[in-house]
Amino acid sequence: MIKSFFKRYAVYFQRFTGSYEMVKVQTIQQVTEYRRLNEQMRTSYPDNPALAGKKIYSQTDEDGIIEEIFNRIPNNKTFLEIGIQTGVECNTLFFATEGLEGNLGGREVRNTVR
């Protein structure tokens, strides 16, 4: 009850105290810095798999990075991920949905996600 109250009115409090604008500015600064670093890496290390990063189910860009690594090495495209918590936001869920075989936190996955 208390948590939902604070969640509902957090934006109003942030606007009242002026911290809402500060959060927006910090977010813009982070995105700008991320783009600058990405461009610097693209220039310095054009073959870096981190440049292929994209977020589908992972917390950040791991989905694209792991996909790029799988594309570069010859293997049978089998994965194993341990410690997936709820399984909603994990590094290999994307591959399970793409039909790869593997194991998510002790649960075997064969061409379908259960």
User: What does 17-64 look like in DSSP terms, one character per residue?
Assistant: HTHHHHHHHHHHHHHHHHHHHHHHHHHH-TT-GGGG---SSSSSSHHH
- Whether 20 has a pLDDT exceeding 80, the answer reads no
DSSP state of 15: H
User: Which pLDDT does position 47 carry in this prediction?
Assistant: 93
C-alpha–C-alpha distance, residues 47 and 65, integer Å: 12
- Whether 99 has a pLDDT exceeding 50, the answer reads yes
Instruction: List C-alpha distances in Å: 80 to 49, 65, 71, 73, 107.
Output: 20, 16, 17, 16, 10
Predicted confidence (pLDDT) per residue in 37-95, tens digit: 989 999 999 999 999 988 888 888 888 998 898 889 887 778 888 877 777 777 788 88
Q: Tell me how many degrees the CA angle 109-88-3 measures, rounded to the nearest 5.
A: 155
Q: Which residue has the higher pLDDT, 79 or 35?
A: 35
Q: Which residue has the higher pLDDT, 33 or 104?
A: 33
